[in-house]
Amino acid sequence: MLKNENKTEKEEVNNKAPEAPQDFSDLLKQFEAEYVLGHDHQKEELKENLSRLKLYNNQKKDKKRVADTSLFSIMQTMLAALYVNALSVVFDGNDDGDGGTAENLNNMAKYDYKVMMKHILDYYLIWDTCFLGYGLIEMEEFDRDKMLPVPNNIDGMTFIRDPKAISPNGVLNGSGAMRFGGYPIDIKKTDLNPDNGYFDYDGITIEEEIDSLMKDAQDARDQAEGYQTLRNKNISSKDMGDNVIYPAFKWFTHHKGNKIKMIVANNRQRIIKYEVIGKSSDPKVKFPIIKRDLFPNSKSWSGTSIPDLVEDKQRQKSVMLNLALDSVKSATYPAMVYAENRIKNKADLKRIKFNKLIGVKGEADIRGAVAPLAKDMPRMDLINYILDALDGSAQIATGSPEMQQGQLSGKSRTLGELNLVQSNVTKRHTLAGRIFGWSEHAFWEMWYELYKKHFKSGIDEKMIRITGAYGNRWRKLTKENMTYLQDPDITIEDNDTNESRNARERILMTNYGNVIINDPEANQRYFRKNILGKLNGLDHEQLERLYPPSVDELLALEENEKLSNNDLVPVGENDNHEIHIEQHMRAAQTNALDSHVKAHRTMQRIKKNQPDIFPQENPIEGLGEEVPQAGQRSLSAQNAVPNINLEV
Where does the pLDDT of residue 648 fall: very low under 50, low under 70, confident under 90, or very high at 90 and above? very low
**Using H for helix, E for strand and C for coil, what is the string for 230-282?**
CCCCCCCCCCCHHHCEEEEEEEEEEECCEEEEEEEECCCCEEEEEEEEEECCC
DSSP 571: B
Q: Express as a percent the part of the chain with pLDDT over 90.
A: 26
| Top-confidence range, 352-361, 417-426, 453-462, 473-482 | 453-462
What is the pTM for the complete model shown? 0.73
pLDDT digits 0-9 by tens, 217-242: 777 776 666 655 555 444 556 667 77
pLDDT for the residue 613: 66
Rg from Cα positions in the chain: 36
| Residue 533: other Cβ atoms inside 10 A | 17
**Cβ-contact 464, 477 below 8 angstroms:** yes
143-152, 463-472, 522-531: which is most confident: 143-152
Question: What does the alpha-carbon distance between residue 93 and residue 587 come to, in Å, rounded to a whole number?
Answer: 12
Name the band, by pLDDT with cuts 50, 70 and 90, for residue 95: low
Domain-by-domain residue ranges, the chain?
A: 551-638
Angle between helix 415-454 and 495-516 (nearest 10): 100
H or E element, residue 126:
helix 118-132
- pLDDT computed for residue 647 by the predictor: 43
Over residues 89-97, mean pLDDT: 72
Mean pLDDT (the chain, rounded): 79
Interval 538-562 mean pLDDT: 84
Answer yes or no: are the C-beta atoms of 1 and 218 closer than 8 Å: no
Position with higher pLDDT, 530 vs 368: 530
Sequence-distant (≥ 6) Cβ neighbours of residue 529 within 8 angstroms: 543, 546, 547
- Residue 203: is its pLDDT beyond 90? no
Q: Which amino acid is at 387?
A: L
Task: Report the SS3 class of residue 179.
Answer: coil
**Region of poorest pLDDT, from 180-189, 403-412, 492-501:** 403-412
At residue 110, does pLDDT exceed 60?
yes
In this predicted structure, what is the pLDDT of residue 262?
97
CA 268 from chain center: how many Å? 32
- pLDDT at residue 339 greater than cutoff 90: no
Q: Are 305 and 292 a contacting pair, CB within 8 Å?
A: no
- What per-residue confidence (pLDDT) applies to 356? 63
Please give the single-letter amino acid code of residue 171.
Answer: V
Strands (E), 177-244: 181-188
List, for residues 437-479, the tens digit of each pLDDT value. 999 999 999 999 999 998 888 888 888 877 655 556 777 888 8
Residue 557: is its pLDDT beyond 60?
A: yes
Quick one: how far is CA 456 from the chain centroid? 29
597 in the Ramachandran plot: left (φ > 0), alpha (ψ -120 to 50) or beta? Answer: alpha
Long-range contacts of 355-361 (CB under 8 A, 24+ apart): none
pLDDT at 411: 59
Report the C-alpha gap between 226 and 228 in whole angstroms. Answer: 7
Q: Coil, strand or helix: which one is 139? A: strand
- Per this entry, what is the length of the chain? 648
